[in-house]
């Protein structure tokens, strides 16, 4: 009889020693929502220095404005505006359309950061300054550059 009892115990304990793996799936997701969003109402603007005379080189400054608005849940939205060239060495330059020649210029953004009321039009003033000494001995022709302005949030 003892062999039957031993066989019974082996059979009885064998399933208890075997474990079966079980898997579960957890879906993870998130939604990112900006509380405040600012965007430009005017997407394009032109700063035309007109005709620069190298024989009578004068410093020239001109300005334009871009309008923007911030919307969202806050009564005041904090914003920051920057250009694509900030912090770069060498400065901004207009390039001649037909030869390798450049006119350096300075770009400034007025009211480039702060807090604005929700849904109120705001104005960003953009100024460029060209020094007469910088175009005194340049080739004639058309010079241009493109500036990209970004607003956050």
What pLDDT was estimated at residue 13?
A: 46
- What's the domain count of the chain? 1
Joined together, the tokens standing for residue 101 give: 């020649």
Integer-rounded Cα Rg, in Å, for the chain is 34
- Give per-residue pLDDT as tens, 73-103: 888 888 999 988 755 556 899 999 999 999 9
Q: Residue 23 — pLDDT band, cuts 50, 70, 90?
A: low
CATH code, domain carrying 107: 2.60.40.1090
Q: Give domain status of residue 49, yes or no.
A: yes
Measured CA to CA, the distance from residue 131 to residue 93 in angstroms comes to 12
Answer yes or no: is pLDDT of 45 > 50: yes
- Give per-residue pLDDT as tens, 96-124: 999 999 999 999 999 899 999 999 999 99
Q: What is the mean pLDDT of the chain?
A: 81
Q: Give domain status of residue 40, yes or no.
A: yes
Joined together, the tokens standing for residue 81 give: 């505006």
Measured CA to CA, the distance from residue 46 to residue 145 in angstroms comes to 10
Q: Give domain status of residue 105, yes or no.
A: yes
């Amino acid at each position: 009889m003892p062999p039957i009892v031993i066989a019974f115990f082996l059979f009885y304990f064998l399933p208890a020693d075997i474990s079966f793996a079980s898997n579960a799936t957890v879906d993870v997701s998130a939604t990112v929502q900006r509380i405040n969003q600012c965007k430009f109402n005017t997407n394009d603007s032109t700063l035309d220095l007109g005709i620069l005379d190298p024989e009578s080189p004068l410093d020239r400054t001109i300005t334009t404005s871009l309008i923007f608005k911030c919307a969202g849940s806050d009564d005041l939205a904090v914003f920051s505006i920057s250009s694509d060239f900030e912090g770069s060495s060498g400065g901004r330059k207009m390039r001649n359309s037909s030869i390798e020649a450049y006119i350096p210029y300075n770009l400034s953004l007025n009211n480039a950061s702060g807090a604005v009321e929700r849904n109120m039009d705001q104005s960003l003033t953009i100024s460029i300054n060209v020094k007469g000494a910088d175009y005194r001995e340049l080739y004639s022709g058309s010079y241009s550059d493109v500036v990209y302005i970004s607003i956050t949030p």
